[in-house]
Structure 1
Amino acid sequence: MTANLTVPYEQPEWNSKPAWKLPGWAEPVMVASILVGSMIITRRKGYRILDNTTRQYGLLSGEPDSTRSSNDLSRDYPLDDDLSDDMTTMKHPPKKRRVCCTTIYTPNSSRFAGNIHSRILQRFPFLIEMFYWIITYAFYRCTSLLSQAIFSETGIWDVAQDHGLAVLEFEQFSWLSFLWPVPELKVQQWFMHGHQTFLTVLNRSYALIHIPGTVGFIAWWYYVAPSHASFAVVRRTLTLTNLLAFIIFICYPCMPPRLLPQEYGFRDSVRHDDAQSVWMSGKYVNSLAAMPSMHFGYSFCIGCTMLYHSGVFRRTLEIGETRKSKPWVLFYVLFAIAYPSWILITIVATANHYYLDALVAFFVAIVAYRCNRIFLVFLPLEDMLLWCLRLDKPVPTTGTRHRQTQG
């Protein structure tokens, strides 16, 4: 299978010294600063954690009902005639959930709104978003262990190498070869020969943009989205993109070009510049997770969100949203195109991904967007978890600026 693959006639050599190494604490400080800053900026103004006289948000107030789930996974179904008279007269009636054509009644944790940890979340609702992403990141860390367990007998390293070479062969000889006329190797060699300073910039981009950049985007979108429903669609899409990619990581380990045998000509430029992300290193990092490229999957979702936010393709806007000025529309449109393009160049030039990785990530993101409401099935579990923790789900502050402007 690998005998037909073309290999370079010359080996690229480094003519530049490794770049200055970023301190190990820099990325965590960056991410923590983004999260803390976002938590403060998106706080619920006028709400005091230790002031029990602070008004509770409800149906008669200007804010959504505090019993709502903040993720717009999320609507609370109205109580109807199916409930007994005793339940309809309860101060905290149960929530009615519709899951898989079945009606489920779950405990209403709004009775715990006065608890100190509930009030902290009510003051800083962005904390709940941080919790969601911690769970997602923890699941990613498990993919390496699960994949190794599945391929323990055959040897995961050999399997991943075969998959990587199969991807290269598919790109060169399949009917889709016209999609990538310039092979990944030639792209990296162009940077290696006379453009290594630019390659160093790409190495830094690969390490720093993926986690801090994505966290920054989530924080930004939580603040500027016209409604929490719009924010939730993006967040659910990103989360489902993650989960689908994780399943592929586990079932189809794929060696990135930089880890292929040296005779294939690829160089690990990120490692040469000591630009590895601390979030993608350590005992449980999955270094054989090239397929699909989450760097490109994230960037594609972000680009689509920017395009949506520009309003250029929307005839009607959401309630409270206003048309942006032409310079801002141009900025968002250009960013929507430039950011995924930059990431694509980065992942190919640094030999961390194949073109096919980006193509698969594109389709994974599309599927995730179309199916993002599948997370509704977890609402009863969320309700039960909140009940066990004696915690009331905070009301999101997303869209508050637009509602205030409209008022």
Structure 2
Amino acid sequence: MNKKVRQVAALALYLSVLFSLYLVPLGMYSPCIKEAGTLGPAPTLIGHRGAPMLAPENTMMSFEKAVEAGGEGLETDVTISYDGVPFLMHDFTLKRTTDVAEVFPNRTHLDASMFTWAELQQLNAGNWFLSRDPFGTVSSLSEPDCSRAQNQSVPTLAQFLEVAARSSRLVLFDLHRPPYGHPYHQSYINTTLQVVQAHINSSQVLWLPSEDRELVHAVDPELQQTSGEKASIHELTVGHITRLNLHYSTMSQQQFRKYQSVNVSTNLYVISQPWLYTLAWCSGAQSVTTNSIHILSSINKPLFLMTQEEYSLMWILTDAVSALLIIAVFIFHWWRERGLPWSGSRQTHENGAYSKFRTELSDVWSISSVSVRPDLRSAPSSPSKPHLPTITEE
């Protein structure tokens, strides 16, 4: 009876877990489960520091490769040199993407903005890409591209803006404030703004720096004010925000619709996988920042897209087939158990391994029952004619 109770309890637990698994997919949500005809246009692509899989990041070659691959925007990071030249550098130091350890070995830990522009021009900004191969793509580059990458240098903001202006691309950049004691610690925004206005149409620039935003908007209202944080509609309106630059983990179809209703578009970063780009597309993002602009530019439709009815039907059919297979397995085992011979209350399977085991076990017991006759155990044996003991079976 106890065995029966345990079997019933195990079966009930198994069926409850199985039933729960059957119901889980029906309650799942995906932005790519939507009604036909409601999918918006594909998000535009903004090259993250250019095309960093095809060329060293934040170099002229990288941005030109991003334009060639079909990017509609270029993203970078701007720092001010010690003598007031805005240049492109993501890290606070120069160690990772230049040969500063060879040219200025005693200054590797200095902030990048503590170098003059003349010193920065002495650095190579491409060799590290070929030696470290950060994306595992160097082997796919042509020999001319490898040679070109090897000779890249640190570019100025002006050079970067000229590439964007010639190709009519959008520009998105973050701006690093120089450390305390730097000559341009207070005036770095004005210095950067002057370079922007001198080299590109302001309407092409997504202005991301949040400091002195009101002043910047007053000086140049054509700039597309861009915020790196979510905010209420009122705050966005007051701050003249026209675009949000958010991490892709903040994807929300409802929020995107809310922002779009007041003409605030959304850019998501950094999206480099096709499946993640598909989710951003289905969610309604207007643009994405990507490392793989050459890959995403070839995607002309989402990888997966279906209506709620199609999704439900797919899982219902899957659950039904799974249930039939499980029932068939149970029936097979029940039939197999019922088909075995029984002897009294103990089941004996006379074929296969069990039969062999029982035969060997019987032989062992037969050998253990053999003994030597007691009267012969201590009898002396003749040296000339050995006496063989008689074996008897007790």
| TM-score, normalised by the number of residues in structure 1 | 0.17
If asked which structure has higher relative contact order (CA below 8 Å, sep 6+), I would say 1
More helix by percentage: 1
| TM-score, normalised by the number of residues in structure 2 | 0.18
Q: Which has the larger radius of gyration?
A: 2
